[in-house]
Amino acid sequence: TQVLRKGLQRGIVLSTGSFLVYEAHKLISGFAEVHASFKVEDVIEQADYLYGSGETEKLYRLLVQHKNSDDAELLWRLARSSRDLAQLGSTSAEEKRQLTYDSLEYAKKALEKNESNFAAHKWYGICLSDVGDYEGIKTKIGNAIVIKEHFQRAIELNPKDATTIHLIGIWCYSFAEMPWYQRKIAATLFATPPTSTFQEALRYFHMAEEADPNFYSKNLLFLGKTYLKLNNKKMALLWLSKAKEYPVQTEEDKQV
């Protein structure tokens, strides 16, 4: 009886100890999850500040540390950052190519983590288009429908995102001015090749401007260019003047 009593007491102590260890584990795990959540939010906040400040290289160095993250918000920002770094004049041709392919992988991973993230769709479309520049006109045209589908999905998820609306305008403009030999390639790839008009492109550029006035120097530039294609020099001059006067904040603004 005494042995049994001691055994039961020992069992109770062990059970209590196991329970306390289990509860401590739960508490620590919960804290770790909350801490991780705060950490992601902190990184995103810092990343958005650096992006707004035009600190392209610092932003990339911050985000590339999180390339194995499961958070779509971090991953699409890393895709954007990789692409922005590739666009810098100081980036070598070899680095530019690597960054271009990396950005597509990050955007693809962001989509896999959260298919309902509008920015993941947007940046996947952008990065897929960029990769086409390295893989030839046939691949670029072949990807065109997929790219547009991702832009349209991004707009469905966020109808007020002016940049995505602008990108569909660029897509329309590109197909409207496509030379005859590229049209022949498109005809071999699709039963019904994608087509567009400058009028359709113009409509999207104006929609983008309505969604967020003066948001992007390139949208102003393409409003001017599209009006030129439509032989409306008065309206072309208006928008090209706005593009010319746009405050330069990024490398792309300088190019515009």
Domain region containing 88: 30-114
The rounded distance, in Å, linking the Cα atoms of 200 and 204 is: 7
**CATH classification of the domain holding 85:** 1.25.40
The rounded distance, in Å, linking the Cα atoms of 208 and 232 is: 20
Q: Is the pTM here over 0.85, yes or no?
A: no
The number of domains in the chain is 1
DSSP the chain: -HHHHHHHHHHHHHHHHHHHHHHHHHHHHHHHHHHHHHHHHHHHHHHHHHHHTT-HHHHHHHHHTTTT---HHHHHHHHHHHHHHHHSTTS-HHHHHHHHHHHHHHHHHHHHH-TT-HHHHHHHHHHHHHHHHHH-HHHHHHTHHHHHHHHHHHHHH-TT-HHHHHHHHHHHHHHHT--HHHHHHHHHH-SS-----HHHHHHHHHHHHHHSTT--HHHHHHHHHHHHHTT-HHHHHHHHHHHHHSPP-SHHHHH-
Q: Which amino acid is at 103?
A: S
Q: In this predicted model, what pLDDT tens digit does every residue of 6-52 receive, in sequence order?
A: 444 444 344 444 444 444 444 444 444 444 445 889 999 999 999 98
| Domain assignment present for 247 | no
Average pLDDT over the chain, rounded to an integer? 86
Q: Is the pLDDT of residue 4 over 50?
A: no
Closest CA to 190 of 243, 124, 144: 144
The rounded distance, in Å, linking the Cα atoms of 194 and 230 is: 21
| Domain assignment present for 139 | no
| Domain assignment present for 88 | yes
| Domain assignment present for 100 | yes
* pLDDT (mean) for 82-105: 95
Q: Give residue 153's pLDDT.
A: 97
| Domain assignment present for 53 | yes
Q: In this predicted model, what pLDDT tens digit does every residue of 183-226 receive, in sequence order?
A: 788 778 777 777 899 999 999 999 999 999 999 999 999 999 99
| Domain assignment present for 120 | no
Give the Å distances, CA to CA, from 192 to 43, 149, 167, 188.
Answer: 45, 16, 22, 9
| Domain assignment present for 106 | yes
The rounded distance, in Å, linking the Cα atoms of 214 and 189 is: 37
